[in-house]
A and B are shown apart, each in its own frame.
Chain A
């Protein structure tokens, strides 16, 4: 049993819970995730570690209440319990010193790009952050990102806050400016986490500029330890397991169309399950 010791609503339908999970906190690294089973009848779902505190022995999860399980998780309160949490899972992000790193987060992906940005910063990189959401009321962690990024750009699809448009618009402009400039260099690495169409668009853009791009994939998982293959993705023409081979992959090699289709496998069933 894992006790929830703090719960906050960060934005519309986006919840943050902090959980006592000392063993996981000791091992956690940026880019890793946990598998969560709320109770006997619940699904096993993967959630990226948004933060952790080794001293306090806690981990923080941030999730959008979109499906049955995340709504159920969001209905738990401080003092409540999650029956099972396994982790940390997956390879940590390879956050070594490379120079300038652009860290891009979209939607609830901002929660996941934060620890990665921090890790890149701590490794001695110059970190440029680009975060975006559909509208102002859905934007999270702007202050935290400001704290770790050397420069931060914020976009909203509807223009209700920051720049109107997508994260790719900012990235594109940035790259165009650098292209024309004589004294600035292209970033050494782009790291991106968010909805599949966004990761796809970012990867397409950076491919033209030949800038190495890492994306953190979010396929459907069950055991999340390499046993079932539910999370298989095609990367560079090879089948990989998101859970144990990833979750970070070379964005220029990922078959995003296949991933998008595979994420729709249970679309019919989603509608049949009782709302919380």
Chain B
């Protein structure tokens, strides 16, 4: 797949990866060996029939390929872009083992890079290709999408509330709607999509794609209520009183982590969330046409090396700053996707590795003047299996920067558990669930990052999907007991 030119793209927010042409896609699709026991499917958290949709693309039947994907995945345009396929379906593609070179792509250098990353079928790009056909032809899913309802009509029409419209919430809502439930999806922000809207930047996931896939979810019958903060606007108890039979909580990992070093409350120190919310959700890259400002100096340091850190670094670059990514380990330990690391390097982001920030320096007026750091070395592996960074004595130095973006991770959103007595959380702040995704409160389920801690879009979608099945079973079984007691009685 070809990327937008690296010189051009750092001046704009348009998508970096340009996607396959019909010819490229069909050629790539034909490489698939159509394994009898496809390993790729086992690598997919939502269980897409990968060989089947690839075969349809190879045969030029794109629309059917998309339908095949949508049997399992409600958000193909999003997943085709942001799933870490290289660690999932593509990682286990048999072609990796056979070392069959992939078909030539237009850019020889890009080919080299892709070869380094993966020799398997480029499943993600093919998924994106199938999804984009619908989007480019501006085909909205028909309002009368047939609903497959495998349950008794009486429970089929039951009302289910889904809290949070990120990947887990959208997936669970869509699957429940497909089963025939009346689903209401509550979102606290003014736009639906959660992290897909506020977190992932335009150049990696165009908001138009998110909008259209949200439209598709609505077309399945899901009623989306934005501007509704469950816990404040309505308590969970209110939802049961309104007649919802079950609730799915997918409120995500939205609580920013800070380093806890001096100077962190200086001006132009941003959490990754604040920086990305300003730029992505509020569109401050279009300031002053859009009214939300973002103050970015000339030199920015981004702390961290996950996908979010790389998103911040590449956004800061596009806003005109010189960007240094500060990471306490080495490139080998970076949690970000390989191609994002590659993209960032190409775009001119400098890495300051084996470096730990210790203090943010004040310019005397409350703004950042520099970032004091310590050099590190790698010791023995820690609990994560990565080699633990150890500070080197007397190695302090100052990076001259005027903006610091802290992208070292997000914790589970604490808001709803805090105001809901009886909703149990684990020590790390995640909501505790049983194997059926049910929380400590009957009829209240949870999934996505709120149960796992910050993870990927697709793993959140995976739990959303499984929870939908569990909710369906619970509602059908529950309707037989005729239990009329509010599940929250006695806990509130």
Task: Give chain A's interface residues, CB within 8 Å of chain B.
Answer: 23-24, 27, 37, 41-44, 68-69, 72, 83-89, 222-223, 225-230, 232-234, 239, 244, 258, 261-262, 264-266, 268-270, 272-274
Contacts and interface: CB of A to CB of B under 8 A. Distances in A.
Given A227-B254, A228-B277, A229-B273, 9 more contacts: A23-B233, A24-B233, A41-B283, A84-B226, A85-B227, A89-B232, A226-B414, A228-B278, A239-B264
A226 B277 contact: no
Nearest to B410: A227
Contact of A239 (B265, B291, B365, B414): B265
Nearest to A244: B415
B142 interface: no
B258 interface: yes
A229 B258 contact: yes
A239 B273 contact: no
B227 A43 contact: no
A135 to B, nearest CB: 30
A86 B188 CA distance: 7
A132 to B, nearest CB: 27
Contacts of B226: 84
A83 B274 contact: no
Given A24-B233, A261-B267, A262-B265, A44 B292 contact: yes
Contacts of B228: 23, 86
A265 B296 CA distance: 10
Interface string B265-291: 101101101100110011100011111
Interface string B224-260: 0011110011100000000000000000001110100
B277 A227 contact: yes
A265 B267 contact: yes
Main secondary structure on B side of the interface with A: loop
Nearest to A38: B291
Contacts, number: 117
B312 to A, nearest CB: 13
A88 B274 contact: no
Contacts of B282: 43-44, 222
Range of interface residues on chain B?
Answer: 35 or more
Contact of B295 (A89, A244, A265): A265
A148 to B, nearest CB: 26
Nearest to B286: A41
Contacts of B188: 86, 223, 225
- Which 8 A-B pairs have CB atoms at the shortest separation, nearest pair first? A261-B366, A269-B293, A228-B274, A84-B190, A273-B288, A227-B254, A229-B271, A265-B267
B291 A228 contact: no
Contact of A228 (B234, B268, B273): B273
B430 to A, nearest CB: 16
A222 B278 contact: yes
Contact of B255 (A222, A226, A262): A226
A149 B282 CA distance: 41
B413 interface: yes
A54 B34 CA distance: 63
Nearest to A266: B293
A261 B364 CA distance: 11
A41 B288 CA distance: 9
A64 B256 CA distance: 31
B141 interface: no
Contact of A41 (B277, B290, B365, B414): B290
B358 interface: no
A266 B283 CA distance: 16
Contacts of B287: 269, 272-273
B254 A86 contact: no
Given A83-B190, A268-B295, A229 B274 contact: yes
A222 to B, nearest CB: 5
B114 interface: no
A27 B288 CA distance: 35
Which of A43, A44, A89, A223 gathers the greatest number of chain B CB atoms within 10 Å? A223
A265 B268 contact: yes
Contacts of A226: 254-255, 413-415
Contacts of A234: 265
B189 interface: yes
A262 B290 CA distance: 22
B291 A273 contact: yes
A270 B295 CA distance: 11
Nearest to A243: B415
Interface in B185-212: 188-190, 198
B234 A23 contact: yes
A5 B274 CA distance: 34
Contacts of B234: 23
Contact of B232 (A87, A227, A239, A258): A87
30 contacts: A24-B233, A27-B233, A41-B289, A41-B291, A43-B291, A68-B291, A72-B291, A84-B226, A86-B229, A222-B282, A223-B189, A225-B188, A225-B189, A225-B229, A225-B415, A226-B254, A226-B255, A227-B198, A227-B254, A227-B255, A227-B277, A229-B274, A233-B265, A234-B265, A239-B264, A265-B267, A266-B295, A273-B288, A273-B293, A274-B288
A226 B411 CA distance: 11
Contact of A264 (B265, B267, B271, B413): B267
Contacts of A42: 291
Contacts of A44: 190, 282, 292
Contacts of B256: 227-229
B254 to A, nearest CB: 4
Given A37-B190, A41-B290, A42-B291, A262 B415 contact: no
Which of A37, A87, A229 gathers the greatest number of chain B CB atoms within 10 Å? A229
Contacts of A264: 267, 366
Contacts of A72: 291
Contact of A86 (B227, B271, B289): B227
B255 A272 contact: no
B97 to A, nearest CB: 43
Which of B273, B274, B413 gathers the greatest number of chain A CB atoms within 10 Å? B274
Which of B198, B281, B291, B293 gathers the greatest number of chain A CB atoms within 10 Å? B291
Contacts of B232: 27, 87-89
A68 B292 CA distance: 10
Which of B190, B273, B277 gathers the greatest number of chain A CB atoms within 10 Å? B190
B329 to A, nearest CB: 25
B297 to A, nearest CB: 11
B227 to A, nearest CB: 5
Contacts of A87: 229, 232-233
Given A41-B291, A226-B254, A265-B295, A232 B233 contact: no
A274 B293 CA distance: 12
A84 B198 CA distance: 16
A268 B414 CA distance: 34
